[in-house]
Amino acid sequence: MTAGCKPIRVMLVDDHPVVCDGYRRLLETEPDIRVVAEAGNGETGFSQYKKHAPDVVVLDLSMPGIGGLETIRRIKAHDPRAHILVFSMHNSETMVSHALQAGATGYLTKQSGMGQMIQAVRQVARGERFIDAEYTGGAASRSVPATPENPLQALTSREFQLFKLMAEGYSISEIAATLCISPKTVGVHHTNIMKKLGLQNASQIVRLAIRCNVIEP
């Protein structure tokens, strides 16, 4: 690192301590990067962001509690200039698109080499978008059309967030409590989601989520 240059301050948000430890060790081998905070869930991640104001947040999407998408939304609502890099096991174009719509600056899958994270962190820190090479087409433009193979693109970002929670088994009351919205609002979203996707019950939600790589079987 050039003398007088400040290091890139990074916060890690992932619910697996071993994974966080690996990220930290990797990033801190670089002289221009320093990990200043870690969190194991979205609520803590948001709190830590307000405390530390890192240059880059490296964040997983699948976490207990509010989850990655809501964490992105809350951080961006608090600080529209926040730079957020999603580093996720989800490798579907739908997840990439909705993460970008929620406010993420970059998206990298965990199938990518760890060395790519260093490049991504530096690029995102400059305010530049970084998208995994596999998704430099439609997802990067935020406008992936809905198709029979990819129906979830018919959902808004908020609807997709609720769809994911529904697929994970959250009830309407649990979703309302998690996202700090009313059960009535969740119910309206639920009705719209089912109508848009042509679904009839919870089992169909789960099957579609698995088919679209939103949740694991």
Same domain, 101 and 37: yes
pTM (2 decimals)? 0.82
Does 136 share its domain with 45?
A: yes
The stretch 162-170 carries a mean pLDDT of: 92
Q: Tens digits of per-residue pLDDT, 103-137?
A: 999 999 877 777 788 999 999 999 999 988 766 55
- Which residues share a beta bridge with 84? 57
3 in a domain, yes or no? Answer: no
Domain final position from 94, 112, 141: 141
Q: What is the Cα–Cα distance from 98 to 171, expressed in whole angstroms?
A: 22
Residue 157 shares a structural domain with residue 196 = yes
Q: Residue 153: pLDDT above 50?
A: yes
Confidence of residue 145 (pLDDT cuts 50, 70, 90): low
Asked if residue 75 and residue 161 are part of one domain, the reply reads no
101 in any annotated domain: yes
pLDDT of residue 2: 47
CA distance linking residue 58 with residue 85, whole number of Å:
5
Residue 100 and residue 171 share a domain: no
Separation CA 81–CA 125 (nearest Å): 11
Q: Note the pLDDT tens digit of each residue in 183-207.
A: 999 999 999 999 999 999 999 999 9
